[in-house]
Amino acid sequence: MEFHTAATGVGFTEGPVYTQRGTLVFVSVDQGLVYETTDGITKTLARTGGGPNGAAEGPDGIIYVAQNGGQWPGRRSKGVSGGVQAIHPDGTVVTLTSDPIYPNDLCFGPDGYLYVTDPSRGPARDDGRLWRIDAKTGEAELLLSVGWYPNGIGFSTDDDSIFVAQGGEGRILRFPFAPAERLGKPELHVQLDHGRPDGFAWDVAGNLVIGAITGVAPGDLQVYNPEGNLMEIISLGEGQKYTNVAISSTRTLAVTDSDNGQVLETNWPSAGLPLHPFRYSSRTNQGAPEGGKG
């Protein structure tokens, strides 16, 4: 599998998402910027400050960002704390809520709410929170406190479960989900072959692509089938932190190469699973450019 460079010189990259506009949006945690790239041209979409750590597209072209408040590798910025920010199409950045402490990643659910992972950033990295947030009002509900580091988050082909990366344990957990209710008891979906899971994405075949990071050896992408069995390990280079992935409806896979300050792309066998809040409309509009990420 051959990868090419879609963007370079963009710092500690994270949070890729293919938008309804047909562009690729991603964040730069250490630069405090959100970028947009298309047709080989990369531009700054917004300056968030702090540490933007994940992104999701909502209605009306608004990009929602998990803002970690400047925790590593972000940088403290005056007036910027942890929370969720909304980037409007004109580049205006608005704080939606400051209730989450150090949010990492986020996604829309089938009920139209944002779901956010919020790990603590202390040395032990052994606790965190999961939030449900009304994207219209900013009202935040704490769903769960956990004794581990929650990272990537997303909904699979069925909407009855929400999946969360359990960082230190090298797992993807499945939480039974029903709109307006508490999350059910989690069960193991994937035990990584090696490394720690960061962000992830599904394709329409139900295969899960996980960015697996390490502290010493090169990181990689690990691909699991719908039953949670390992299908393939994809090596990309010597970087330790291939942190997150997105797959477009036109079968392009993007991966954020955070160690080397770049975003890589390659052709993928299947289209990406459409994301909420566009999933249902895309079933009658197969030309829509959105793609799956976690």
Mean pLDDT of 38-45: 94
Q: Which of 226, 255, 252, 253 is nearest to 239 (CA)?
A: 255
In a domain, 268, yes or no: no
In a domain, 157, yes or no: yes
pLDDT digits (tens, 9 = 90+) for 79-129: 899 999 999 999 999 999 999 999 999 999 999 999 999 999 888 788 999
Q: 281 is in which domain, residue-wise?
A: 4-193+275-293
In a domain, 257, yes or no: no
Q: Which residue type, as a one-letter code, is found at position 221? A: L
Total number of domains constituting the chain:
1
In a domain, 238, yes or no: no
| 127: its two tokens | 């606790």
Pairwise CA distance, residues 230 & 221, whole Å: 11
pLDDT of residue 285: 44
Pairwise CA distance, residues 196 & 37, whole Å: 28
In a domain, 248, yes or no: no
Residues 6+ apart with CB under 8 A from 153: 105, 106, 107, 115, 116, 117, 130, 162, 163, 164, 165, 294
Q: Which of 134, 124, 128 is nearest to 86 (CA)?
A: 134
pLDDT of residue 122: 81
In a domain, 244, yes or no: no
Give Rg (Cα) of the chain: 17
Pairwise CA distance, residues 244 & 18, whole Å: 13
Indicate the SS3 state at residue 281: helix
pLDDT of residue 291: 61
> Three-state secondary structure along 95-135?
EEECCCCCCCEEEECCCCCEEEEEECCCCCCCCEEEEEECC
In a domain, 245, yes or no: no
In a domain, 165, yes or no: yes
Residue 284 has pLDDT above 90, yes or no: no
pLDDT digits (tens, 9 = 90+) for 199-241: 999 999 999 999 999 988 899 999 999 999 999 999 999 999 9
The CATH number for 107's domain is 2.120.10.30
pLDDT digits (tens, 9 = 90+) for 138-173: 999 999 999 999 999 999 998 999 999 999 999 999
